[in-house]
Amino acid sequence: MEKLIISSCICGAEVTKEQNPAVPYTVEEIVREAKSAYDAGAAVIHLHVRWDDGTPTQATERFQECMDAIYKECPDVIIQPSTGGAVGMTDLERLASTDVVPTPEFATLDCGTCNFGGDEIFVNTDDTIVNFAKIMNEKGIKPELEVFEKGMIDTALKFHKKGFIKDPMHFDFVLGVTMTATIRDLVFMVGSLPPGCTWTATGLGRNCWSIAAATIAMGGHVRVGFEDHLYIEKGVLAESNGQLVAKAVELAKIMGREIATPDEAREILGIPPRKNK
């Protein structure tokens, strides 16, 4: 079985310090959390950014500042800026995260519209998906295909067939938003992929560790972090993203999976070696 890529989603756009005081807002806090995850074994930092008051932003200058600071501490890490942003942002706002220098190696591409709770709708029309894919192709960015339920896999495969999404495809299953996060669901999602794909999975909230364990056993890759879950165990807030990554590493060791370095992750994902580390 290939080595395990661990991605750390260090802050997201929705969680707050009121929920967990360790959630990072400032550049210094984002770097602290990225480094804690990297030091514990994360090869990929899935990055949202905030203004200092916690407001989510897709501003290129804020991504540039945060990514430069992370690379200074973690020179070989893969930084994956989010193009999801926050509910209500325009397509152009969301894509601003890909305008940093150097161009990101890896970024998210959401493959469908979904309800985020209450009256929040995360909109991704077919035109949005195609436009994002075209721009990522032009810039040489590998997309991580974010899917929240089975229909989004079908959408991604439709646009792969039309040539907008290129091989090798990499999917991220985010379970527990619109689709329940059970082992049955994970098996169904993985079984819906064509040969040659790689995939990562995460279970939101209390579903985190059951999905992580099943993913490790099934040969997939794991995402953990404050964006998806704030607790290290029931009733105990995680002290850092690094603590969550360390728990995933321990699970992998128990189950006989070695942990991929960032360069090994690039090879597994089909991302060219990073220059100018």
Model pLDDT for residues 186-221, shown as the tens digit of each residue = 999 999 999 999 999 999 999 999 999 999 999 999
Residue 265 belongs to a domain: yes
Rounded to an integer, what distance in angstroms lies between the CA atom of residue 33 and that of residue 49?
12
Peptide bond between residue 194 and the one before it cis (omega within 30 degrees of 0)? no
Q: Residue 274 falls within a domain, yes or no?
A: no
Nearest to 184, CA basis, from 197, 169, 203: 203
Classify residue 100: in a domain, yes or no. yes
The residues, any chain, with a CB within 8 Å of residue 245's CB and separated by 6 or more, are 6, 8, 36, 37, 40, 41, 42, 224, 225
Q: Which domain holds residue 32?
A: 6-269
Domain at 104, CATH number: 3.20.20.70
Report how many domains make up the chain. Answer: 1
pLDDT tens track for 32-70: 999 999 999 999 999 999 999 999 999 999 999 999 999
Kindly report, residue by residue over 67-113, the tens digit of the pLDDT.
999 999 999 999 999 999 878 888 989 999 999 999 999 999 999 99
Q: Which residue has the tokens 């995850």?
A: 37
Query: What value does the CA radius of gyration of the chain take, rounded to a whole number of Å?
Result: 17
pTM score above 0.95: yes
Say if CB 152 and CB 129 are below 8 A apart. Answer: no
Share above pLDDT 90 across residues of the chain, in percent, rounded to a whole number: 93
Handedness of CA 252, 261, 74, 206 (dihedral sign): negative
Q: In angstroms, rounded to a whole number, what is the distance separating the alpha carbons of residues 213 and 30?
A: 27
